[in-house]
Amino acid sequence: MAIKERKEREKQDMRNLIIESATQLFLKHGYDKTSIRNIADDIEYSPATIYLYFKDKDEIFYVIHENAFVILDGLLRKNQSIENPIERLHAIGKTYMQFAFDNPDYYDLMFIMRAPLSQIKSEEQWKSGECAFGYLIDTIGECLDKKLVKPVDKMLLSISTWSFVHGLVSLYIRERMCIVPMEDSQIKQMLDVAVENYVENLRA
């Protein structure tokens, strides 16, 4: 029954083809402007074919979403070599911010876009997300354990830290920082300083 396995492989290949095309189009033009017909044109199949491999557009969204979390998680964990946890925390913040500026469309998809909840709400699926957030919690836990930062509830500090950097990044990405009377390069520089300042302020 090698045919069944080949078919299974071909099915997965087709899914990969669709995801690759969708990701590329999405990173070039953004999610909203990537239509099923665009993807179909790109892979030279009819639009209806895509629905043989994915339930709907949300399911494609979700796979890209999952991939993005794997990428971010990998980047964040590259800071594991930094021994001092508060310095590591600082590096994590900078890495997170850099990821957002390098891949604004990924960031949008991950943390800003109104998400297809049916897919995301299930906790299983958030695994890689929980993983990245879990890494932040662990690092902050280490800072607290070693009394390097002022004592405070671990979860509170984790949410606060994430929210702080997300706030800076998302206001920038969604172009609300334009009310600040500064040039773009100056603003980006200030956002960097803001993260630095925030982490320094946590110190015990």
Contacts with DNA, residue ranges (CB under 7 A): 1, 3-4, 6-7, 10-11, 14, 34-38, 44-49, 51-52, 56-58
Residue 54 backbone dihedrals phi, psi, to 5 degrees:
-135, 140
Rg of the chain (C-alpha set): 20
In this structure, the dihedral spanned by the alpha carbons of residues 152, 136, 93 and 151, taken in order and rounded to 10 degrees, is 10
SS3 (DSSP) at 203: strand
Give the per-residue contact string, 16-55, with a copy of itself (x = CB under 8 A; - = no): ----------------x-----------------------
Question: What sign does the CA torsion over 195, 198, 200, 202 have?
Answer: negative
Binding-site member from 46, 84, 98, 155 for a copy of itself (CB under 8 A): 155
Binding-site member from 102, 174, 184, 204 for a copy of itself (CB under 8 A): 174
CA distances from 44 to 20, 32, 37, 50 (A): 13, 21, 10, 11
User: Position of tokens 């990428």?
Assistant: 71
Closest separation in Å from C-beta 50 to DNA: 7
Residue 167 makes contact with a copy of itself by CB under 8 A: yes
Residue 126 makes contact with a copy of itself by CB under 8 A: yes
Give the footprint of a copy of itself on this chain (CB under 8 A): 32, 111-115, 117, 120-121, 126, 129-130, 133, 150, 152, 155-156, 159-160, 162-168, 170-171, 174-180, 182, 190-191, 193-194, 197-198, 201
